[in-house]
């Protein structure tokens, strides 16, 4: 679906769905189906998570972590994506997850989902940009005399975050153009990387891809503690694909900016996960096959990818690939700013933030973007990165603790509306599916598989050396209970429902006229 194919009937239908949920068309609806796909594909960015976390496959069970573990982990993410796509087709709004949990559950489940997703998005933005900073230091830092001190990392992250926010500020068309380009860049750079690994590999031993070898402890550079259980280590290797194949909720968050959203968004969610999984599998397998000596490579720990590239690739090709990967990682962060800001905007227009909701819900009449939400999300991420680089708990850097907590928070924010949807499907809360429909049987099957996947993700996310994640998660849930029952239960009203939607129609029309929306 492109702008040229977008008819007045399509526009009327998009407005009807949005008005039916009580919201005005304030954001600019100009994203094509491909752009909606590209924003999730850019956040997933196999050249970011797939490379920066590659050691989690090799330093657990060796080559099978890439050949087999990647497939299993991507299947887990795929279950979530299929279930979320079904819900997104029925309720295509900005901040999708929050609305889904509110509509299919109640005020509390919506509020809890919003905070889980917001916390996950802000911290994952920090993780992406910190990863980009360290990637820059390790590849081009010597050109500029940068060694990767905490101050330098914070400064670099602040600089690129400001640029990412500026790009988002000046309209979704600019953001979509950049993320569209990012999609092609990821595809092109990954293809070159795959071919280069296979061409320059000293030898090709495909049996590596299904051979299980225990590289835990010192044999794997200390990425994971020593363990004799291959089943346990196989579960840990799933951290690589599960951490990489996430962020596809961005397609839902930009629903109000997407043409024919009820049709386009679910397809974008599924296709971004499918293509990232397939191309990512080819990439991690190629890197695994290119490692000259698997045991020696595993012993490099987190440096296994870079040591392999240093060993096998010509300098000119390596630096060209590194530059393409660096730009892809920057654009991954840019797309995450978009996702986080739309979540913050959507939550705020229902009064979700304790302070500043009215300001955060404002849309620029000039750029048709939630500029206050964009800059607030960016500033919060910079503050988090500062704390992450300069504060440690029990000798463990906050960054390491929170990054692994992020995985739990994000997938919990996916799980809540999925579980609610499983029980609400076909009831008064959700009487009719959207135009993209799996059918009740398949949808509920993927819901159950998502819950099983959540149990696996939670288990592996809290294992040593990430055992502090359990306490972070419990602490967060206790804090939310205190805040909800102590304050927010009386203050937060949630999204409009029932008669409140009808009462809003005049205000909706006025808001659209004020913003210059021509479809009213």
CATH number, domain containing residue 417: 1.20.1740.10
pLDDT for 398 equals 62
pLDDT for 391 equals 75
CB-based contact 384:126 (threshold 8 Å): yes
Is residue 395 situated within a structural domain? yes
The whole-angstrom separation of Cα 285 and Cα 56 is: 14
Instruction: At 397, give phi and psi (nearest 5°).
Output: -60, 140
The 10s digit of each residue's pLDDT in 28-37 is 999 999 999 9
> How large is the angle between the packed helices 261-290 and 172-200, nearest 10 degrees?
30
Is residue 9 situated within a structural domain? no
Q: How many other CB atoms are found less than 10 A from the CB of residue 346?
A: 28
pLDDT for 2 equals 64
Is residue 245 situated within a structural domain? yes
Beta-carbon contacts of 207 under 8 Å, excluding residues fewer than 6 positions away, are none
CB-based contact 263:89 (threshold 8 Å): yes
Q: Which residue, 385, 343, 140, is CA-closest to 249?
A: 343
Is residue 230 situated within a structural domain? yes
Q: Which residue, 410, 407, 185, 190, is CA-closest to 278?
A: 190
Specify the number of domains making up the chain: 1
pLDDT for 520 equals 46
Give the residues of the chain that fall short of pLDDT 50: 520
pLDDT for 401 equals 67
Is residue 509 situated within a structural domain? yes
Give CA separation, 42 vs 49, 141, 289, 437, in Å. Answer: 11, 24, 26, 25
Q: How many other CB atoms are found less than 10 A from the CB of residue 188?
A: 12
CB-based contact 407:201 (threshold 8 Å): no
The 10s digit of each residue's pLDDT in 288-315 is 999 999 999 999 999 999 999 999 999 9
The whole-angstrom separation of Cα 268 and Cα 40 is: 8
Give the position of tokens 């491909």: 34
Q: Is 393 helix (H, G, I), strand (E, B) or coil?
A: strand
Domain interval for residue 357: 29-515
Is residue 191 situated within a structural domain? yes
Q: How many other CB atoms are found less than 10 A from the CB of residue 477?
A: 13
Is residue 450 situated within a structural domain? yes
Give CA separation, 401 vs 137, 280, 397, 470, in Å. Answer: 22, 26, 7, 10
* Confidence (pTM): 0.94
Is residue 75 situated within a structural domain? yes
Q: Is the dihedral of CA 279, 281, 285, 287 positive or negative?
A: positive
The whole-angstrom separation of Cα 344 and Cα 253 is: 10
């Amino acid at each position: 679906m492109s702008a040229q194919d977008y008819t007045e009937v399509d526009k009327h239908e998009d407005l009807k769905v949005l008005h039916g949920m009580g919201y005005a068309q304030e954001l600019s609806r100009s994203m094509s189906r491909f752009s909606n796909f590209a924003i999730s594909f850019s956040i997933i960015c196999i050249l970011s998570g797939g490379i920066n976390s590659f050691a989690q496959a090799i330093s657990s069970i060796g080559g099978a972590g890439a050949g087999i573990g990647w497939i299993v982990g991507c299947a887990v993410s795929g279950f979530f994506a299929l279930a979320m796509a079904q819900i997104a087709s029925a309720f295509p709004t900005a901040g999708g997850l929050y609305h889904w949990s509110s509509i299919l559950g109640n005020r509390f489940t919506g509020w809890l989902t919003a905070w889980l997703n917001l916390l996950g998005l802000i911290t994952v933005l920090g993780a992406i940009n910190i990863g980009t900073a360290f990637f820059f230091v390790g590849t081009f830092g010597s050109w500029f005399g940068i060694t990767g001190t905490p101050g330098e990392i914070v400064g670099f992250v602040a600089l690129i975050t400001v640029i990412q926010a500026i790009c988002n500020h000046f309209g979704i068309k600019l953001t979509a153009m950049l993320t569209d380009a990012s999609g092609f860049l990821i595809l092109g750079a990954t293809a070159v990387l795959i071919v280069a690994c296979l061409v320059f590999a000293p030898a090709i031993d495909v049996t590596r891809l299904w051979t299980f070898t225990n590289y835990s402890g010192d044999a794997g550079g200390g990425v994971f503690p020593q363990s004799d259980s291959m089943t346990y280590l196989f579960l840990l290797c799933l951290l690589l694909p599960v951490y990489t194949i996430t962020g596809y909720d961005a397609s839902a968050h930009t629903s109000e900016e997407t043409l024919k959203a009820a049709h386009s968004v679910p397809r974008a969610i599924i296709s971004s996960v499918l293509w990232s999984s397939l191309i990512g599998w080819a990439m991690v397998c190629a890197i695994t096959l290119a490692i000259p000596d698997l045991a020696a490579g595993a012993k490099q720990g987190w440096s296994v990818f870079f040591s392999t590239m240093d060993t096998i690739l010509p300098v000119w090709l390596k630096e060209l690939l590194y530059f393409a990967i660096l730009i892809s990682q920057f654009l991954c962060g840019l797309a995450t700013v978009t996702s986080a800001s739309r979540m913050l905007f959507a939550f705020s227009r229902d009064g979700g933030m304790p302070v500043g909701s009215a300001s955060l819900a404002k849309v620029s009449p000039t750029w048709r973007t939630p500029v206050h939400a964009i800059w607030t999300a960016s500033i919060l991420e910079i503050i988090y990165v500062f704390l992450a680089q300069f504060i440690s708990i029990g000798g463990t850097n906050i960054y390491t603790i929170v990054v692994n907590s992020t995985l739990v928070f994000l997938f919990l924010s996916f799980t809540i509306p999925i579980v609610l949807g499983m029980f609400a499907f076909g009831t008064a809360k959700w009487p009719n599916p959207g135009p993209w429909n799996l059918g009740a049987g398949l949808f509920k099957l993927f819901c159950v598989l998502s819950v099983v996947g959540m149990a696996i993700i939670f288990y592996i996310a809290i294992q040593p050396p990430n055992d502090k994640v359990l306490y972070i998660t419990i602490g967060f849930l206790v804090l939310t209970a205190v805040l909800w029952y102590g304050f927010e239960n009386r203050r937060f009203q949630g999204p409009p429902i029932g008669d409140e939607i009808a009462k809003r129609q005049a205000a909706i029309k006025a808001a659209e006229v004020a913003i210059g929306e021509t479809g009213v």
